[in-house]
Structure 1
């Protein structure tokens, strides 16, 4: 069987879920290796989430800071190259910014093909600032290598085209079989009012105050934040953290789902599948999945969110939720994603565009010295 080497430094949170599922899905068609680092966010029983056929290789020299310490950078590069020499993969797939940076320095693509998936570009997710400028510059320099950038949606692919030579995208989604099984037997939480919900931790990126303001403009509706946070509008309920089944029951009983994040890196396939009216902010990925007026609404202002909700309370746009459901069946699910990945990897194996020279490494390190990486909060945002 042909070999695929996955490299993932940010092995925690959504990236852990994505990469572990991808590794498992590829085991029937390829010999899969996963080079990873341990993060505080990773489940203690992480090996239980992976197919027994996945070969695990811990990269001990990885640092969360990445590209900040030249001696350690060299150590990481040498360790990654040693793994490549031992595994001899046909495709190397780098996941997230740090692995994408160090991996594209380590792997020249002479005997295999290198792919890189940002899982949300760091310079966009962290917002404006000195570090985002640095990360964008690094993406442009590394984009000159022979690697392929594989993003998770069309709008992110548009960004990728400004940073590198070769791009493609495969839409993300949820496991509909697992979701359907989870929904079976779950009774929806019944509400006596039109209910608008969202979920997650009420951090700045999720714009909880915008959600709060929407609730203020639509006092006749009920708003629910499934998660932790402090929101004070009288028609708002903050549930605190809930187990998956309880959260699904609340979602199942809701009418509309809002995702008003500043920057988002997730799909909303679950709520498309359970046929909720979806309203999202006009950000990368959100606008790729939700087409305004087709399968949901893309909103720019608090007034626009409120206007769409009030209109839905008078006449629910079932044609939008039906289209969203069909899109979940046809596009945004893991079975479709699996087939596309198998085709993608096979195409990569059929080509080899050659390597690049070490001048790229020198340029990156020179620029690296000109930036201060002291802000730990920003460093966490990179993952």
Structure 2
């Protein structure tokens, strides 16, 4: 530990999936320049070897029952735990990741003189199907966004536009992936051949956020193509089209092998911060078709580096065009964007500058 380095206290309840990938990469990237403390709570999706993935210089602090509960006594206990941790560590910056940590943390540190950063990783009231609960989440974000010592740091320009309606203090740093690690993984992977049919795929949990009903409609509109969903989830029953194959959950290398052998990547979600799978497939040089929503529309410019679609018919029309003539200029433009914008080297430089200015 360098006594001259600023201390950053990272707090992350949602320690799984895309948030896990983002936070572990950020902690590893920052540990050369700052003393990093990570407060977290494990989930079923948390990799078993997560301690091996994190740099050994990172100080790990695990707390249990770190979730929103109807039992207010439990919530108050978590808030008190966070305050005790902050008092013991005396950080220079507190960075809250995802909505639960963002809610608990902003309440815990609302009277603190320490700068508090909140990264939502996709606002839950946008990602979920509309309901009374999503309206309540949006109201809570507005209330918490008024706390003066916090700044919302989003992962894309369009997510930042949403933040601007919830708080006065906000900015963004684009998500970036580790290209060196991805290149090393790809070099060891043998392409899984899908060439008996033009293959369209997506990746992730089959839930409302990913809009499986839209993916199913696209498949029905393009029966001559094969559609793959790499993943699984509670809404798999929605995927009824006869040309859809649900692969189930695959290890990273096997998922990359399937992606390398496919032709087009579809991301028809309700919203994203920035999906790392989208950036990865841009780098792999797959033509990408995305929904016209938060996150996606910041990365993909329609007809320039991919396609932005509003309806299942839009996706189907573009897929049929791609089957006839593959748009190599688009995939090359997307690849260049990843090399210059959406990579961890660029993200690291921006983060160091952001933390130092705080």
TM-score normalised by L of structure 2 = 0.90
Alignment of structure 1 residues 171-210 onto 2, 5 Å: 171-190=174-193, 191-210=195-214
Distance in structure 2 (CA, Å) of the matches to 1:224 and 1:72: 42
Which residue does 2:289 correspond to in 1? 279
Distance in structure 2 (CA, Å) of the matches to 1:44 and 1:290: 34
The higher relative CO (CA closer than 8 Å, separation ≥ 6) is in: 1
Q: Is the 8 A contact 1:115 1:150 kept in 2?
A: yes
Whether 1:106 and 2:108 are equivalent positions in the alignment is: yes
Alignment of structure 1 residues 170-319 onto 2, 5 Å: 170-190=173-193, 191-228=195-232, 229=236, 231-265=239-273, 266-267=275-276, 268-319=278-329
Q: Is the 8 A contact 1:109 1:147 kept in 2?
A: no
Which residue does 2:76 correspond to in 1? 74
Q: Is the 8 A contact 2:126 2:270 kept in 1?
A: no
Give the CA deviation at 1:31: 0.5
Whether 1:162 and 2:165 are equivalent positions in the alignment is: yes
Closer, same or farther in 2 for the Cα pair 1:82/1:298, shift >3 Å?
same
Of 269-278 and 202-211, the range deviating more from structure 2: 202-211
Per-residue deviation, residues 348-372 of structure 1 (Å, max 9, x unmatched): 1xxxxxxxxxxxxxxxxxxxxxxxx
Q: Is the 8 A contact 1:147 1:166 kept in 2?
A: yes
Which residue does 1:54 correspond to in 2? 58
Distance in structure 2 (CA, Å) of the matches to 1:250 and 1:343: 38
Per-residue deviation, residues 84-128 of structure 1 (Å, max 9, x unmatched): 111111110011111111111111464421100111112222232
Give the CA deviation at 1:164: 0.7
Closer, same or farther in 2 for the Cα pair 1:296/1:345, shift >3 Å?
same
Distance in structure 1 (CA, Å) of the matches to 2:145 and 2:79: 18
SS of aligned partner of 1:312: helix
Q: For 1:22, which of 6, 13, 26 is the aligned residue?
A: 26
SS of aligned partner of 2:42: coil
Q: How many residues align?
A: 346
Per-residue deviation, residues 286-330 of structure 1 (Å, max 9, x unmatched): 111111111111111111111111111222211111110001111
Whether 1:94 and 2:100 are equivalent positions in the alignment is: no
Give the CA deviation at 1:129: 1.9
Distance in structure 1 (CA, Å) of the matches to 2:44 and 2:226: 36
Distance in structure 2 (CA, Å) of the matches to 1:330 and 1:58: 36
TM-score normalised by L of structure 1 = 0.85
Which residue does 2:124 correspond to in 1? 122
SS of aligned partner of 2:84: helix
Per-residue deviation, residues 210-259 of structure 1 (Å, max 9, x unmatched): 22322222233332223344644444333333332222122112111111
Distance in structure 1 (CA, Å) of the matches to 2:111 and 2:330: 45
Unaligned runs of 5+ in 2: none
Distance in structure 2 (CA, Å) of the matches to 1:41 and 1:77: 24
Closer, same or farther in 2 for the Cα pair 1:234/1:39, shift >3 Å?
closer
Distance in structure 2 (CA, Å) of the matches to 1:135 and 1:207: 20
Of 184-193 and 138-147, the range deviating more from structure 2: 184-193
SS of aligned partner of 1:239: strand
Distance in structure 2 (CA, Å) of the matches to 1:78 and 1:35: 14
Closer, same or farther in 2 for the Cα pair 1:8/1:202, shift >3 Å?
closer
